[in-house]
Amino acid sequence: MKRLTISPPLAAVLLAIVLFLLSGFLPNGFGGNLDVATAQAINIVRLSVFLGIIAAGQTLVIISGGEGIDLSTGAVVTLTAILTYTIVNGRNEQVLPALLAVLVVGGLIGLVNGAGIAFLAISPLVMTLGMAGVVSGLILVITHGNVSGAVAPIMTQLIARPVLLGIPGAILIWAVFAALMWLLLERTAFGRRLFAIGANRTTARLSGINVTGMVIATYALSGMLAGLGGFLVVGNTGVVHIRIGDPFLFPSIAAVAVGGTLLTGGKGSYFGTMAGALVLTLITSLLTTMQMQESVRRMVLGATLLTMIAIYGRQRGFRQ
């Protein structure tokens, strides 16, 4: 069987570029105007940042293997977005405490996920699904359906507005974040152990890796990153509602898969996830620009996703 030699992250980036160029020919596309094209491109990348950072935690748990997945991501994003909104309440000096709070809360939720998975042997999908329900319930208990608060001016300034050479802060944050993720995965003991437990838990344990500790740490980290995502999402939108995180849940998994990270664990990269987030965001916003009906939009999104994973998400066959 012919194998594609092009790597999935690169394929996703190329696909994004081609799609973007094609979108210029749409009736309300940028046409030949380079300035408008640049502005649109920057805007797409800016919108991808939030999915990209939320999907970072998802990347880690998926690499960790053992059917690893985090379905509590959406609920954690919602909870932490609401927390940020209430704690900050329009004051600049409250931004750092809020950031700290969302990291701790997200981390604690992840810790419980990890403990349930590692100690009680509950499958990750079910454990995090249950946790998503608990967190959604908590949100209703705390907010009673309506949230009061506000984001701080400095958050809007740093996240949503251009900061340097017309580039929005969110993109700069993403660049730094990506460098940190690369360091974590490729240059630290944690990263090496993560790939090791993802490839084979038994051999990892025999070579002296504390698998239980690693699993718990990975889920805690995933929760923290979802918390960071919630913080950034609310900083971008400036408003919050009690389902704000839901639309990020399955796309965060799809971004990881489209980026070429094996859903069975042990192999993958954050760059792939970034490319996946870019493609998914681009397709979603293209479908919105084309003013399609919601029904057609969903069908096209589903079919595109299916095509992308069919191109390079295939598992190995038996006859090899």
Instruction: Give, in order, the Cα–Cα distances in Å from 203 to each of 51, 186, 198, 211.
Output: 33, 20, 10, 10
Instruction: Compare residues 187 and 298 and give the one whose CB is closer to other proteins.
Output: 298
Choose the stretch contacting other proteins; rule: CB under 8 A; options: 36-44, 84-92, 116-124, 164-172: 116-124
Residue type at 53 in one-letter notation: I
Q: Are 233 and 77 in contact (CB under 8 A)?
A: yes
45 vs 282, beta carbon nearer other proteins: 282
Q: Does 133 contact other proteins by CB under 8 A?
A: yes
- Between 8-23 and 294-312, two packed helices, what is the crossing angle to 10 degrees? 150
Tokens (6 digits) for 304: 């595109």
Of 189-197, 211-219, 250-258, 265-273, the window that binds other proteins (rule: CB under 8 A) is: 250-258
72: nearest Cα among 134, 26, 24, 27: 134
# residues near other proteins by CB under 8 A = 50
Q: Which is nearer to other proteins, 218 or 284 (CB)?
A: 284
Nearest approach, Cβ of residue 104 and other proteins (Å): 20
Q: Any contact of residue 120 with other proteins (CB under 8 A)?
A: yes
* Binding characters for other proteins, 67-96, by CB under 8 A (x = yes): x-x---------------------------
Q: Are 54 and 280 in contact (CB under 8 A)?
A: no
Residues in the chain: 320
- Pairing status of strand 162-164 against strand 167-168: antiparallel
Give 27 or 317: the residue with its C-beta nearer to other proteins: 317
Look at the alpha carbons of 20, 26, 28, 30 in this order and tell me if their dihedral is positive or negative: positive
- Asked if 4 is part of the footprint of other proteins (rule: CB under 8 A), the reply reads no
Instruction: State the nearest-atom distance from the C-beta of 257 to other proteins, in Å.
Output: 5
Does residue 213 touch other proteins according to CB under 8 A?
A: no
Smaller CB separation from other proteins, 121 or 176: 121
Instruction: Choose between 236 and 304: whose C-beta lies nearer to other proteins.
Output: 304
Per CB under 8 A, 225 contacts other proteins = no
Rounded to whole angstroms, the Cα distance separating 222 from 112 reads 12
Q: State both tokens at 176.
A: 């730094």
Letters for 137-166 (x = contact with other proteins by CB under 8 A, - = none) are xx-xx--xx---------------------
Residues 267-306 that bind other proteins (CB under 8 A): 293-303, 305-306
CA angle, 162 then 53 then 140, to 5°: 105
Q: Under a CB-based contact definition with an 8 Å cutoff, are residues 172 and 164 in contact?
A: yes
Tell me the DSSP string of 150-201. ---HHHHHHHTSEEETTEEHHHHHHHHHHHHHHHHHHHSHHHHHHHHHHH-H
Rounded Cα gap, residues 286 and 26, in angstroms:
10
Of 35 and 294, the one with the shorter C-beta distance to other proteins is 294
Residue 2 engages other proteins in binding (rule: CB under 8 A): no
User: Residue 84 or residue 143: which is nearer to other proteins going by CB?
Assistant: 143
Residues in the site for other proteins, rule: CB under 8 A? 67, 69, 116, 119-123, 125-127, 129-131, 133-134, 136-138, 140-141, 144-145, 250, 253-254, 257, 263-264, 293-303, 305-306, 309-310, 313-318
